[in-house]
Structure 1
Amino acid sequence: MPLRLTPTFRDHLAATDRTLYGGWICSGSPVVAEIMAGAGLDWLLIDMEHAPNGLESTLTQLYAVSGYSSTPVVRVPAGETVIVKQVLDLGAQNILVPMISTPEEAKAVAAMTRYPPAGVRGVGSALARSARWNRVEGYLGNDAAHVSVYVQIETVEGVANARAIAETPGVDGVFVGPSDLAASMGLIGQQTHPDVVATVKRAFAGIATAGKPVGVNAFDAAAARDYAAAGARFILVGADVALLARASEKLAETYLADTDRAPRASY
């Protein structure tokens, strides 16, 4: 019997006019991924760029979250054809590619996600979870409907090219990364610096002009609300490892405050 894949993140964004709030999964643990999935967030980012994730652990996390309503997006470590092919073949329907600063780079990424003649994705649907081992009828001929593609702007150059990047055919949305953007501006570690925030919003404006949804990460609640008001359609508002770090520090502070143990630093 033919199978149907779940709606893509593109479909979820198109179906609502509110901001979608997500959680970052950086631990590499399928148990933690399932805990995050059960929290009720709109979407989840399974990170392969800054987390100890390879193909096998990414697959187990896709399995772990598949029974929940949160939509998983996989951030690949780089915009490389082989990596993108392998992650799509794992069954990731939504990918985010970091460090995109030009429309040419965005065009190359879009091609990596499409089969020829529209792109350069290698054909392996009979062997892969992506098409459920050829149980998804018409997967090869309708590949664009099953995959949504997002690119990440993280440099001053990328902000200058934001509209052109967003207008790239095959790119479904753009995510702005304030951390690396701040570093590229000489303000490393100052994601909420007024100049960084203004530059993020300048990227928003260019992306909005292209008619594509824009996302951003903002762990500070006030910053997240401000970006939502400025037009962000999807926002990462917390990470599993950061939540665990802060909660465990609070736990230690609560029970060890009256002991001789030195207080833990809070970041």
Structure 2
Amino acid sequence: MIMNWKYWIIISSILIGAYVLAFVLRKLINLFVKRQSKKVNVDPTNFSFIKNSVSFFVYTGGLIAVFYVTPSLKNISAALFASAGIFAAIAGFASQKAFSNIVGGIFILIFRPFGVRDTIEIDNMHKGVVEEITLRHTIIRNYENRRIVIPNSIISDATIINSNIIDEKIKKFVEFEISYDSDIDKAKQIIREEAAKHPFLLDMRSDEEKANNTDQVIVRVVGLGEYSVKLRSYLWADCNDNAFVLHCDLNESVKKRFDENGIEIPFPYRTIINKTK
């Protein structure tokens, strides 16, 4: 009984020590990142991944130590090794997804399709800012301030749109539809004027284009529909968030100017004929 209590104390000490060690290491990494971020522009992706990896390896080491110091568990481990073939098959099947997530996380760290704080879109479904990359999953904060947890194996096979990689500037297409009776030239002029007034609009013209008085905002007719003419403006902003605000503000200001100048934004008409006998 004394031996049993002795081993219980040892096991408890190892597990508590592993927890404390993982906690301290994570705190030290967080402190290091905060200090370094004040000096240089530190990419937190590596530190986030290392922080989560440290906990995994510390807990794994603690579990191995528990098996090593406990005779009864040594016998269990020997029996497991004796049936290693069956155990490997079961464990391999059970951990296939978990292992693929870990490999996916490592690939994200190595090949860097995105990093923490990048704005990304996964398979045209999930869009937001990357908050954390762990061994198993990646956490994205969407524009509703909700967290989306996506396994790394899914991200590895997904198409990713990264708004921050290399160049954060973004070209935004803002489209408007007007009726066939409306003045196209007037509508294009209104769109150009309202866009040029917005503080988030970037002037991407070359020096030659500026010298030639080329319009800062290009507006083109891109479609003739059943009941409308589609106009598209090409706008530049310095980041995805500002491009979104630019789009929304332009929708509002152009709509007001269209109303003032008699330019109709059409909608389909439906005629209902009620026949009575």
**For this structure pair, what is the TM-score category when the shorter chain's length is used for normalisation?**
under 0.3
TM-score by length of 1: 0.20
Query: Bigger relative contact order, structure 1 or 2, given CA contacts below 8 A and separation 6+?
Result: 1
TM-score by length of 2: 0.20
**Larger relative helix fraction:** 2
- Whichever of the two has the greater Rg, that structure is 2
